[in-house]
């Protein structure tokens, strides 16, 4: 898919989930590099930067999009000529997508090792990384049950329960407000991540922070499953991650509601690191307090 169509599919959530948007954006940069027919190296670099900006403006919160797109154009300024720049973008994109897909599998394994036979798990929204943990635990032969939240307003939980049921796992759908009433039956919570900030704050689907608080109240371990490209180098100096506000129609369409009522539709929230037992990454388990050090190791300390 070309860059413009990819950006529009991300905006309208035909492509959604932090990992998927990052991979599809990176792939569309490679598609653009393949299709470039000009003969001016400087023009090619300018156009690649314009395409980058189109993708980055499609959704504001998940840093995976930024990391995926930026890693696709890494080193283009050192490209010798147009063919060399094209090769750099294609190879970068292939490496990002392969590493991303592998990371989800590795996270599945590390996460599943934390699941015991007979456990009941709870997940929120639809996270490929969290579903990978659940599937892998089941494939390891563990007898597990899962609660999955509906995830208002968009209903990503329906995707999750179908994926889990298709894998043969016992799964129960609950509305978001039922989390506290079922937490006494839950042994472990696994959710995904859109962004992890340098101070170990998790930014994920709206409702995640309430689940973390409830898990904390019940002494249930709360873990987020996050490839390290969900870590934000942009937050090393300043944490100003924008929480996306989406169209209020997602909430009120088809509802009988007085015109004077104001509607607020934030689609992500922030969970402080103190409520997170571990971040499960392809590098292993990371404590929220170690995120800053990991960001510096992976991305460096320089200007982002």
Widest CA span in the chain: 64
> Which C-beta is closer to ligand RUB: that of 23 or that of 86?
23
Contacts of 277 (CB under 8 A, 6+ apart): 221, 222, 223
> Which C-beta is closer to ligand RUB: that of 169 or that of 280?
280
How many whole angstroms from its chain centre is CA 289?
A: 20
What is the token pair recorded at 194?
A: 């859109």
User: Which member of 176, 194, 225, 277 is catalytic?
Assistant: 194
User: Which member of 125, 176, 225, 277 is catalytic?
Assistant: 125
The β-bridge relationship of strands 222-225 and 202-205 is unpaired
> Which C-beta is closer to ligand RUB: that of 7 or that of 18?
18
> Which C-beta is closer to ligand RUB: that of 161 or that of 193?
193
Our answer to whether residue 125 is catalytic in this structure is yes
Position of minimal CB gap to ligand RUB:
192
Query: Which has the closest alpha carbon to 173: 159, 185, 184?
Result: 159
Binding site for ligand RUB (CB under 6 A): 16-20, 62, 125, 127-129, 156, 192-194, 204-205, 267
Please tell me the distance from the alpha carbon of residue 51 to that of residue 32, in angstroms, as a whole number: 8
Nearest distance from C-beta of residue 159 to ligand RUB, angstroms: 9
Nearest distance from C-beta of residue 129 to ligand RUB, angstroms: 4
Nearest distance from C-beta of residue 28 to ligand RUB, angstroms: 17
Query: Which has the closest alpha carbon to 125: 86, 152, 145, 91?
Result: 152
Q: Identify whether the C-beta of residue 135 lies closer than 8 Å to the C-beta of residue 191.
A: no
Nearest distance from C-beta of residue 22 to ligand RUB, angstroms: 8
Our answer to whether residue 225 is catalytic in this structure is no
Active site residues: 125, 194
């Amino acid at each position: 898919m070309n860059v413009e169509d990819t950006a529009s599919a991300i905006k309208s959530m035909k492509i959604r989930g932090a990992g998927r948007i990052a991979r599809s954006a990176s792939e569309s940069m490679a598609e653009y590099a393949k299709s470039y027919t000009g003969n001016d190296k400087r023009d090619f670099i300018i156009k690649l930067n314009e395409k980058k900006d189109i993708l980055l403006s499609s959704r504001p919160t998940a840093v995976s999009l930024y990391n995926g797109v930026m890693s696709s154009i890494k080193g283009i300024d050192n490209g010798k000529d147009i063919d060399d720049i094209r090769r750099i973008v294609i190879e970068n994109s292939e490496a990002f997508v392969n590493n991303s897909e592998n990371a989800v599998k590795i996270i599945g394994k590390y996460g599943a090792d934390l699941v015991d036979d007979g456990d009941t798990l709870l997940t929120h929204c639809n996270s490929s990384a969290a579903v990978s943990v659940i599937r892998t635990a089941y494939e390891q032969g563990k007898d597990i049950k899962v609660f999955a939240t509906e995830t208002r307003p968009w209903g990503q939980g329906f995707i999750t329960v179908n994926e889990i049921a298709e894998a043969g796992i016992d799964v129960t759908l609950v509305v978001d407000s039922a989390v506290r009433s079922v937490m006494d039956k839950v042994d472990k919570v696994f959710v995904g991540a859109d962004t992890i900030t340098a101070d170990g704050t998790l930014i994920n689907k709206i409702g995640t922070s309430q689940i973390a608080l409830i898990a904390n109240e019940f002494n249930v371990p709360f873990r987020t499953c996050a490839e390290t490209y969900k870590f934000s180098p942009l937050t090393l100096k300043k944490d100003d991650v924008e929480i996306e506000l989406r169209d209020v129609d997602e909430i009120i369409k088809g509802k009988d509601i007085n015109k004077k009522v104001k509607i607020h539709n934030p689609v992500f929230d922030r969970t402080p690191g103190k409520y997170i037992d571990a971040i499960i990454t392809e590098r292993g388990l990371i404590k929220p307090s170690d995120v800053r050090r990991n960001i510096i190791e992976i991305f460096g300390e320089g200007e982002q």
